[in-house]
């Protein structure tokens, strides 16, 4: 046992060393006596190596009891009963915030930085709801205002495919329809969203809206599986981040931890952040500019990128599942393998979200505070915090951390799903290979300079 821990420690040391060195590439090495300029390819390779090494080391740990211990670790606390009594206030708070967004968005100043609607929608919901969900648990279940017109209940039959569609539409509108710049358009979008929620709840019941259609609820519920904190009726439990994505012991050959639509949603979460990262980067705008120069309308170019990127993300993962299926002898189908390892992608999605939104959420938090404390007045003196220099390491650390956690979770999932240990290790290899590739792509995106997307 002690040997294993020593190996794990050695591995951590080995895998962090390249990161420390590669930080020099993003300007943190200035303090050292001899600054080393590192080419981007080496920086990316080092990042990929971190994920690869963490997978190699995870493969060494084959003791099921140790893995169960890792999975079950964490203290448990009772929560004060007052928390449950406060619970009914959540949807009312949510409704007030939505009302502010619609009212202020429509009537307030049409300038994004001073309009409270934009601060609440983009700092509060877009950036912070997923961040709170991935750290403290499913926050949207508490805030969702639509539950005021319906009753909560068990998840209905059927998948989250509608949520995938609504999510894709929302991301597309965010990219192309200028809801970030025009508070009035934002107000219309939020009103349509609320109206859709109320209509669906009235027609088919709240569970259909919450468990099948609402993309915010889906993102919040799925990311909550990564959260180190878990609030249940028994109290609050602390656990290692990501262990909540590990599969339960399967009951039969079709007992998947995710439904296909949920897997599509998780893959879309990963893709969506890559897409917005790409089109808002200098190489991205350059590439789009070149293609537009050939005479294609910009919207078609963006739609093509959107579609192709989504296909590539899904296709890469599907290919990993097919290859994994060929590598092992199992009665599972490739689809089932994709679903077994699907939840581990949530750690990656969480890492990407932090990489893209954490600094933004922190630096724009005064806007949100001002918007919430004085919702009816435009922000007369908008304050944005300037992040200190070291925070530029946050995106890379978040991307790498998400992937490393995902590798660990995939390892434990493999051991839960397969009785033979060598199968459990062999099945992970294609998934890890895809993860290494995706790590390098995402690291590249967070290191290139950002640029406002053109033609939108």
Partner 1 sequence: MAEPLRCAHCDRTFVDAERRLAHTALRHPTTLDPEGITAYRALYRREQRRLRRLRLELIGGVVAVYFAVFVLYTVVG
The structure tokens 């399967």 sit at 250
Measured from the CB of residue 247, what is the shortest distance to partner 1 in angstroms? 13
Contact between 38 and partner 1 per CB under 8 A: yes
Contact between 427 and partner 1 per CB under 8 A: no
Measured from the CB of residue 405, what is the shortest distance to partner 1 in angstroms? 18
Sign of CA dihedral 324, 355, 231, 269: negative
DSSP bridge partners of 237:
76, 230
Cα–Cα distance for residue pair 178/56, rounded to 1 Å? 45
Measured from the CB of residue 21, what is the shortest distance to partner 1 in angstroms? 6
| Member of 49, 134, 227, 264 binding partner 1 (CB under 8 A) | 49
Is 62 or 391 the residue whose CB approaches partner 1 more closely? 62
3-state secondary structure of 73: coil
Listed ranges 270-278, 341-349, 382-390, 419-427: which one lies at the site for partner 1 (CB under 8 A): 419-427
Cα–Cα distance for residue pair 28/18, rounded to 1 Å? 14
Contact between 6 and partner 1 per CB under 8 A: no
Measured from the CB of residue 446, what is the shortest distance to partner 1 in angstroms? 20
Cβ proximity of 94 and 220 under 8 Å: no
Q: Which of residues 226-285 bind partner 1 (CB under 8 A)?
A: 249-253
122-125: long-range contacts (C-beta < 8 A, 24 or more apart)? 122/180, 122/364, 123/360, 123/361, 123/364, 123/365, 123/367, 123/368, 123/371, 124/97, 124/368, 124/371, 124/372, 125/216
Cα–Cα distance for residue pair 410/424, rounded to 1 Å? 9
Contact between 429 and partner 1 per CB under 8 A: no
Is 37 or 381 the residue whose CB approaches partner 1 more closely? 37
Contact between 330 and partner 1 per CB under 8 A: yes
Contact between 420 and partner 1 per CB under 8 A: yes
| Member of 44, 57, 166, 364 binding partner 1 (CB under 8 A) | 57
Listed ranges 161-169, 323-331, 350-358, 361-369: which one lies at the site for partner 1 (CB under 8 A): 323-331
Cα–Cα distance for residue pair 208/381, rounded to 1 Å? 42
Joined together, the tokens standing for residue 75 give 């203290």
Instruction: Give the binding-site size for partner 1 (rule: CB under 8 A).
Output: 36
Contact between 381 and partner 1 per CB under 8 A: no
Joined together, the tokens standing for residue 249 give 């012991």
Contact between 111 and partner 1 per CB under 8 A: no
What is the binding site for partner 1 (CB under 8 A)?
7, 11, 14, 17-18, 21, 36-39, 42, 45-46, 49, 52-53, 56-57, 59-60, 62, 64, 249-253, 329-331, 419-423, 425
């Amino acid at each position: 046992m002690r040997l294993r821990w020593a190996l794990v420690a050695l591995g951590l040391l080995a895998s962090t060393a390249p990161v420390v060195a590669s930080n020099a590439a993003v300007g943190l090495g200035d303090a050292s006596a001899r600054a080393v300029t590192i080419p981007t390819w080496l920086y990316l390779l080092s990042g990929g190596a971190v994920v690869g090494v963490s997978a190699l080391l995870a493969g060494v740990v084959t003791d099921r009891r140790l893995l169960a211990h890792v999975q079950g670790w964490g203290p448990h606390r009772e929560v004060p009963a007052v928390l449950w009594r406060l619970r009914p206030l959540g949807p009312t708070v949510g409704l007030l915030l939505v009302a502010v967004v619609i009212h202020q968005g429509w009537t307030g100043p049409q300038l994004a930085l001073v309009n409270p609607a934009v601060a609440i929608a983009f700092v509060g919901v877009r950036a912070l709801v997923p961040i709170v969900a991935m750290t403290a648990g499913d926050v949207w279940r508490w805030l969702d205002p639509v539950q005021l017109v319906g009753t909560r209940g068990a998840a209905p039959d059927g998948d989250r495919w509608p949520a995938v569609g609504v999510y894709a539409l929302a991301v597309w509108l965010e990219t192309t329809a200028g809801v970030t710049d025009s508070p009035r358009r934002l107000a219309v979008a939020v009103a349509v969203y609320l109206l859709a929620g109320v209509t669906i709840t009235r027609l088919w019941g709240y569970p259909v809206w919450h468990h099948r259609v609402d993309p915010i609820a889906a993102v919040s519920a799925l990311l909550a599986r990564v959260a180190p904190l878990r609030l249940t009726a028994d109290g609050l439990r602390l656990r290692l981040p990501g262990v909540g994505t590990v599969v339960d012991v399967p009951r039969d050959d079709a007992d998947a931890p995710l439904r296909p639509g949920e897997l599509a949603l998780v893959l879309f979460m990963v893709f969506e952040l890559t897409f917005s990262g790409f089109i808002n980067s200098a190489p991205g705008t350059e590439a789009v500019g070149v293609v537009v120069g050939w005479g294609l309308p910009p919207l078609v170019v963006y739609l093509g990128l959107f579609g192709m990127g989504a296909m590539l993300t899904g296709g890469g993962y599907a290919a990993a599942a097919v290859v994994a299926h060929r590598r092992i002898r199992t009665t599972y189908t490739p689809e089932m393998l994709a679903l077994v390892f699907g939840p581990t992608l949530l750690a990656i999605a969480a890492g990407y979200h932090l990489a893209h939104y954490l600094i933004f959420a922190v630096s724009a938090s005064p806007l949100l505070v001002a918007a919430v404390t004085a919702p009816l007045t435009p922000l007369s003196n908008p304050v944005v915090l300037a992040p200190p220099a070291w925070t530029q390491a946050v995106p890379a650390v978040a991307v790498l951390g998400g992937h490393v956690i995902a590798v660990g979770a995939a390892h434990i999932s493999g051991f839960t799903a397969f009785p033979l240990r060598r199968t459990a290790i062999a099945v992970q290899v294609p998934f890890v290979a895809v993860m290494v590739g995706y790590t390098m792509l995402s690291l590249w995106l967070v290191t290139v300079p950002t640029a406002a997307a053109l033609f939108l």
